[in-house]
A and B are shown apart, each in its own frame.
Chain A
Amino acid sequence: MNKRWWYGLLILPLAGTLVPPFYARAQPELFGFPFFYWYQLVWVVLASLFTWIVYVRTRETPHG
């Protein structure tokens, strides 16, 4: 099946955080936090979410 494609979601957090030039700046601020800080914190939540999706989507289903 196409279940293997879901694993691609696991690469996204790496892409999002391993290229500092993309996020090493102060603006735009959110709740007083410079972009550099809130961007990386958002990725914590996203990574968790993506990993959960991969877990659910690649599970052995009763008929799968």
Chain B
Amino acid sequence: MASAVCLILVAAVMVLGFLAARWGNVEIHSIEEWALGGRRFGTVIYWFLLGGDAYTAYTFIALPALAYGAGALAFYAVPYATITYPLAYLFVTRLWIIGKKRGYLTTADFVRERFDSRPLELAVAGTGLLALVPYIALQLIGMQAVLQSLGVGSLNSDVFLIVSFALLAAFTFTSGLRAPALIAVAKDILIYVTVLTAIVYIPMKLGGWHHIFSVAQVALAARPKRGALIIPPGQYFAYSTLVFGSALALFNYPHLITSALSAKNVDVVKRNMALLPAYTLLLGFLALLGFCALAAGIHVKNTNLAVPMLFAKFFQPWFAGVAFAAIIIGALVPAAIMAIGAANLFASNIFRSFSVRGEGAAALPALNAKLLALVMLAAALLIALLIKPEFAINFQLLGGAWMLQTVPAGAIGLFTRWFHPVPLFIGWLTGMVCGTSMGYATHYQSIYTLHAGSFSLSGYIAFYALFANLAVACVGTLLLRAADVDPGRDLTSAADYA
């Protein structure tokens, strides 16, 4: 019953994806129409799109899994997804304005013009691509967790994944960003219905929040790797840097930039920075559902199954089907946008398919990018099917650390041209090396402990890497400025940002 409902909803949504090609009555030939929906999305659609983009199937599975396994640390997602919006209010609006004026599709487009540096452009673009690959694969892993809970065998599961990704690739090819935008409406409605129902109904059945927190606390303390209900002092800095680092990095991910640039005007962006936090409340509820799983006596070795099992236990089969469909569709939306974002990076920044810049670029044909999107999805599917999930998860952690290293050039660069391109590049490289080696040293945990004598400080590896990155960029720039070295051209002008 649950499987039937789930399948019907997923199939319906696939149809929406193909229908999206007709939306807006426009031929989707040009890159701007395909990749950015013609930069025509209004406040409401933009809200659904960005919400559907930022909150992925992996989020819905992994966040409660973390709460279930480790406790309070998982709640970092709430302040992270709270402060990311005021930050985006400042940075993303600026990128949108200049992006519209000069026809940008990606952050790397901006970096190329601002710093007139091909290496820096490639660094930013390449980082984005590297970070996206595991992220798409993880959406499939989120889907696999749902299928497993539905009792689908592993062969059927693989078939389902291949078929759904094939369809996803097809409608991404035909409809571009309009497809995930339209599907996001369905996805987000289903997600809100599912989570709001769960957060009211399940605690009622479990005896109230006080009871849930008490049981969770005991269960967490009994874990081999002790979890906690409230973060202990030793984790304060780790929590804080996790929040800040993640918040800074989020809107620099290529798929978020792709969605962000699709707005009709800058007011759409600004309004949404105030409206999108509604999704953050959902995120908080999701983390709390992880505690509910503890209180409900759900015992799973694979923590990813905590919430699916919780839904299977408490929901009527038909509603569990709705919930599972929400998660599966929740994978398709970001996967599509990630493929488009990656295609944009390849086409615009790696292969330089768009030799004309400025307003003219946006009208160029999208075929190259469309084909690249297919390649990206195929690659991610292969990775998800052939490689151990653990590998994708570790890769994703590094991806987060890597994305933060594009902040100096791609985000800070929006406000100032003070930095020299060469130290920025070396800083980026420093950050990449630091982040990767710390990730390796911690066996792909996000927290690294610095030791200096008897003093130790545990913090988010991406944050430490960014610190090293900025230190190098600042020192390098100061030296070059002192030596009066030419900082290179800036092809943008002050008027472009207003």
A31 an interface residue at 8 Å Cβ cutoff? yes
Q: Closest A residue to B279 by CB, please name it.
A: A44
Q: A17-B82, A47-B82, A55-B270 are in contact. List 20 more A-B contacts (CB 8 A).
A: A7-B90, A10-B87, A10-B89, A20-B236, A21-B236, A24-B232, A24-B233, A25-B230, A26-B229, A32-B210, A36-B231, A40-B75, A40-B82, A44-B81, A45-B281, A47-B277, A50-B86, A51-B277, A54-B89, A55-B271
Q: Is the CB of B236 within 8 A of A17?
A: no
Looking at B90, B210, B230, B235, which has the most chain A CB atoms within 10 Å of its CB? B230
Smallest distance from the beta carbon of B331 to chain A beta carbons, Å? 25
Q: Closest A residue to B77 by CB, please name it.
A: A40
| Assembled-state Cα–Cα distance A36/B296 (Å) | 22
| Residues of chain A contacted by B82 (CB below 8 angstroms) | 13, 17, 40, 43-44, 47
| Residues of chain B contacted by A19 (CB below 8 angstroms) | 240
Using a CB–CB cutoff of 8 Å, the interface residues on chain A facing chain B are 7, 10-11, 13-14, 17-21, 24-26, 29, 31-34, 36-37, 40-41, 43-45, 47-52, 54-55, 59
| Assembled-state Cα–Cα distance A11/B288 (Å) | 27
Q: Is the CB of A13 within 8 A of B83?
A: yes
A sample of 30 inter-chain contacts (CB < 8 A) reads A10-B87, A10-B90, A13-B82, A13-B86, A14-B83, A17-B82, A17-B83, A18-B83, A18-B243, A20-B231, A20-B235, A21-B233, A32-B211, A32-B212, A33-B213, A36-B231, A37-B288, A40-B79, A40-B82, A40-B284, A44-B78, A44-B81, A47-B277, A48-B274, A48-B277, A49-B274, A51-B86, A51-B277, A52-B274, A59-B267
Q: Closest B residue to A53 by CB, please name it.
A: B274
Given the contacts A18-B243, A29-B210, A41-B284, A36 and B230 also touching, CB distance less than 8 Å:
yes
Q: Is the CB of A14 within 8 A of B240?
A: no
Smallest distance from the beta carbon of A16 to chain B beta carbons, Å? 8
| Residues of chain A contacted by B280 (CB below 8 angstroms) | 44
| Assembled-state Cα–Cα distance A30/B75 (Å) | 17
B318 an interface residue at 8 Å Cβ cutoff? no
Q: How many residues of B contact A (CB 8 A)?
A: 41
Partner of B78, one of A34, A40, A54, A59: A40
Looking at B82, B210, B230, B231, which has the most chain A CB atoms within 10 Å of its CB? B82
Q: Closest A residue to B282 by CB, please name it.
A: A44
Chain B, residues 257-270, CB within 8 Å of chain A (1/0): the string is: 00000000001001
Looking at B75, B86, B273, which has the most chain A CB atoms within 10 Å of its CB? B86
Using a CB–CB cutoff of 8 Å, the interface residues on chain B facing chain A are 72, 75, 78-79, 81-83, 85-87, 89-90, 208-213, 229-233, 235-236, 239-240, 243-244, 267, 270-271, 273-275, 277-278, 280-281, 284, 288
Q: Is the CB of B209 within 8 A of A36?
A: no
Q: Is the CB of B229 within 8 A of A34?
A: yes
| Assembled-state Cα–Cα distance A40/B80 (Å) | 10
| Residues of chain A contacted by B281 (CB below 8 angstroms) | 41, 44-45
Q: Which 8 A-B pairs have the closest CB atoms?
A: A32-B209, A32-B210, A17-B79, A10-B86, A52-B274, A51-B274, A48-B277, A20-B236
| Assembled-state Cα–Cα distance A49/B273 (Å) | 10
Smallest distance from the beta carbon of A37 to chain B beta carbons, Å? 7
| Residues of chain A contacted by B81 (CB below 8 angstroms) | 44
Smallest distance from the beta carbon of A49 to chain B beta carbons, Å? 8
| Assembled-state Cα–Cα distance A13/B280 (Å) | 14
Smallest distance from the beta carbon of A41 to chain B beta carbons, Å? 5
Q: Closest A residue to B203 by CB, please name it.
A: A32
| Assembled-state Cα–Cα distance A59/B271 (Å) | 11
Partner of B85, one of A31, A47, A59: A47
Q: Is the CB of A41 within 8 A of B89?
A: no
| Residues of chain A contacted by B240 (CB below 8 angstroms) | 18-20
Smallest distance from the beta carbon of A32 to chain B beta carbons, Å? 3
Smallest distance from the beta carbon of B71 to chain A beta carbons, Å? 11
Q: Closest A residue to B277 by CB, please name it.
A: A48
| Assembled-state Cα–Cα distance A47/B235 (Å) | 24
Smallest distance from the beta carbon of B77 to chain A beta carbons, Å? 10
